[in-house]
Structure 1
Amino acid sequence: MSPTRAELLAASDRLLPDVIAPGLDVLFCGINPGLYSAWSGHHFARPGNRFWPALHGSGFTPRLLHPSEQDVLPSLGLGITNVVPRASARADELTAAELTAGGVRLRSLVAEYRPRVLAVLGVTAFRDAFAARDAVVGRQPSSLGATVVWVLPNPSGLNAHYQLPALIQKFAELRASLGANG
């Protein structure tokens, strides 16, 4: 069942809880939840979002998971959070202050939960949240304590620069960097 326009608008500014646990291999970090995700209560839930297919195609999950199965991720060493926790129709509705505060929040989450890798899904959001104007997709030169930082392409269906095969390749590069333990 698809949400009505009114139901989607009612999801505006709704918070979507993190899927997180201590000691994860990878904490994936979206920009912020879309209205469809907030309405459903599941990360990357909008049809057309390529997060779940990229996760599976790169070997992080043994099968293609549905967004409603997000709570399985910690048992696979994976988690999900967002730079900005509140939902909006589009990422460009976020303010610079929200993105900066999101960087502070992420540093705190990483310090508390200590994932091996923080993987931010969107280079522009990463640049804004971490004041890293020259950041590019891939492993970043600096870390957050012992946590390695990666930037992966935004898996939104609106990101025309990366089609699914290229997203899978970038996710697979991150997975390969984890070695036999990832």
Structure 2
Amino acid sequence: MLTDIIDNNLSVIFCGINPGLKSASDGYHFSGRSNRFWKTLHLAGFTPYEIEPISDLSILQFSYGLTTAVARATARADELDNTEFASSIESFKNKMIFYKPQCIAFLGKAAYMAFTGKKKLSWGPQEEKFCGARIWILPNPSGLNRGFRLNDLVDHYSALQRSLT
């Protein structure tokens, strides 16, 4: 199990779909070798340096947090089924209402689609708020997501970063 890195009133809480097996085993967010989250975050201007997974707690000093939509670790996010999203939505909502982030950035479309019942989403900012927070949908940085090169990820994440200032 992976522990949330979260605090009150953060600028952004980045929400992964669920932990990868390596991250769950290591106890650090985005610790898989092929995961591009930390590199993308730095290159998009969120952090002045690339955070190492072992130092994932340091993300709080930049007013960002980390959580997952579903707690169960899997090798691939597509191993989750709709019942797992359905059983996690209430605790996720309660967490967001309690911590009051300004923005929730879902990494990939799957969790937000499952949580809202939407059939189609675009990348970037969403019109509606969720638990009082602005919503952004960003491409998943997993190395398994071959549809997005690093530069593509950085472009999408940079758009969110620019919207914060």
Question: Could you say which TM-score interval applies, normalised by the shorter chain?
Answer: over 0.9
Other-structure match for 1:23: 9
Would the aligned equivalents of 2:138 and 2:157 in 1 still touch at CA under 8 Å?
Answer: yes
Q: Tell me, yes or no, if the aligned pair for 1:32 and 1:86 is still in contact at 8 Å.
A: yes
- Distance apart, 1:74 and its partner CA: 1.0
CA RMSD of aligned residues (A): 1.1
5 Å matches for 1:87-98?
87-98=73-84
- The letter for the 2-side match of 1:102 is S
What are the within-5 Å matches in structure 2 for residues 106-145 of structure 1? Answer: 106-145=92-131
Q: Residues 31 and 169 from structure 1, CA distance in 2 versus in 1: closer, same or farther, beyond 3 angstroms?
A: same
Is residue 41–residue 47 contact of structure 2 (8 Å, CA) maintained in 1? yes
Match of 1:55? 41
Match of 2:89 in 1: 103
Mapped partners of 1:51, 1:104: distance in 2: 26
| Unmatched runs of 5 consecutive residues or more in structure 1 | 1-14
The amino acid across from 1:160 in the alignment is: R
Q: Please, which moves more after superposition, 73-82 or 100-109?
A: 100-109
Question: 1:103–1:130: 8 Å Cα contact kept in structure 2?
Answer: no
For these two proteins, the number of residue pairs brought into alignment is 165
Q: 3-state DSSP class of the match of 1:101? A: helix
Structure 2 gap ranges (5+): none
Aligned partners of 1:139, 1:128: CA distance in 2, in Å? 17
Q: Give distance in 2, aligned partners of 1:66 and 1:145.
A: 30
* Structure 2 length-normalised TM: 0.96
Between stretches 126-135 and 71-80, larger displacement belongs to 126-135
Q: TM-score, normalised by structure 1?
A: 0.87
CA deviation string 1:129-154 (max 9, x = no partner): 22121212111111024310111001
CA 1:136–1:102 in 2, change beyond 3 Å: closer, same or farther? farther
What whole-Å deviation, never above 9, does each CA across 1:25-82 have from its counterpart, x for those lacking one? 0000001001100111001100010100110000101101111111111111000000
Moved over 4 A (4+): none
Match of 1:77 in 2: 63
